Amino acid sequence: MHQVKYIKSIYRQFAEYMQKFNKPLEHLVIGLSQEGGVESLVNQEEITERWNMLKNELQPELGNTFEEKNMIEGGDRDFSDTLPLIKNNLLYTLFLNDLFYEYADPGIFIEQENNNISHRFLPMRA
């Protein structure tokens, strides 16, 4: 779970409330392709169950505002089909973006033809 080390007191209550929405994704079991990219989410049912439990827990705190309805609908959508959410996450894209290569013999590296490393995270050469 993400921890907030410091936050101004006027935002603390809101930040603590929003942190609750991390609970369904605390334990991810992801399936990777041979190249290391995210291919599947093995524990989707568990994530959906945790979201439904959290939603029930939050029910007494929720009002009937447009924003709160959108948050719940977004949670229903994201936590019932979480793979797109993971694939579009910056950290997962950075660290699990088909970056593995074949290593036939120790010390001999064979680079695969399709190199999908994003230039967004690497310095540009002149």
CB 71: neighbour CB atoms within 10 A?
16
In this predicted model, what pLDDT tens digit does every residue of 24-83 receive, in sequence order?
999 999 898 877 778 899 999 999 999 999 999 988 888 888 988 898 999 999 999 999
SS (H, E, C) the chain: CCCCCCCCHHHHHHHHHHHHHHHHHCCCCEEECCCCCEEEECCHHHHHHHHHHHHHHHHHHCCCCHHHHHHHHHHHHHHHCCHHHHHCCHHHHHHCCCCCCEEEECCEEECCCCCCCCHHHCCCCC
Q: How confident is the model at residue 125 (pLDDT cuts 50, 70, 90)?
A: low
Rounded to whole angstroms, the Cα distance separating 93 from 84 reads 11
- Among candidate residues 77, 96, 97, the one with its CA nearest the CA of residue 28: 96
pLDDT at 126 over 70: no
| pLDDT for the residue 94 | 76
